[in-house]
């Protein structure tokens, strides 16, 4: 029985049920994180940036690729510098990348226009009639016969 690497969390990033991206297609970069922190922040490469090449990916299908290119562009980046630990920032960056890709692939349902209900039409007309009557009673009495 052959093992399938596509769902293995140690070799691929699971975006959603139908898509796993191998780590070999993700580019990693570690840099020093900005902001305060003294020598630790200045010396350690704890900020992690991950980059995914949408245009050159073999893991994406043609529809997925075209949707991501249209919505997110040819490369998708995510970074994390929340933690002092590079490994934790790596996890956070991967989660953010997966979220961006998932949102980019999401298909919004088509809107089906609905008609107002009979009750809502009746309420609208009654409200208009009441409002009209209120305004009519505010007017000065007319001298002529109606």
Residue 17 φ then ψ, to 5°:
-55, -35
Residues of the chain below pLDDT 70? 1-9, 35, 37, 41, 144-146
DSSP state of 108: P
Predicted local confidence at residue 144, as pLDDT: 63
Strand partners, 12: 22
Decide: pTM greater than 0.85. no
d(CA 6, CA 136): 73
Strand partners, 78: 50
Say which residues have a Cβ less than 8 Å from residue 65's Cβ, sequence separation at least 6: 54, 55, 57
d(CA 98, CA 15): 5
Largest CA distance in the chain: 99
Predicted local confidence at residue 6, as pLDDT: 55
* 9 CA to centre of own chain: 23
Predicted local confidence at residue 49, as pLDDT: 94
Say which residues have a Cβ less than 8 Å from residue 90's Cβ, sequence separation at least 6: 28, 48, 50, 80
Predicted local confidence at residue 3, as pLDDT: 45
Q: Are 102 and 16 in contact (CB under 8 A)?
A: yes
């Amino acid at each position: 029985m052959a093992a399938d690497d596509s769902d293995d969390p140690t070799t691929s990033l699971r975006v959603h049920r139908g898509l796993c991206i191998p780590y070999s297609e993700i580019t990693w970069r570690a840099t020093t994180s900005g902001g305060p922190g003294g020598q630790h922040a200045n010396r350690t490469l704890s900020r992690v940036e991950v980059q995914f090449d949408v245009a050159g990916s073999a893991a994406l299908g043609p529809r997925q690729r075209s949707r991501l290119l249209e919505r997110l562009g040819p490369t998708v980046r995510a970074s994390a510098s929340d933690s002092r630990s590079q490994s934790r920032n790596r996890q956070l960056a991967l989660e953010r990348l997966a979220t961006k890709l998932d949102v980019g692939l999401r298909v919004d349902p088509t809107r089906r226009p609905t008609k107002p209900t009979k009750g809502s039409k009746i309420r609208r007309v009654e409200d208009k009639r009441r409002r009209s009557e209120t305004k009519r009673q505010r007017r000065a009495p007319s001298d002529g016969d109606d």
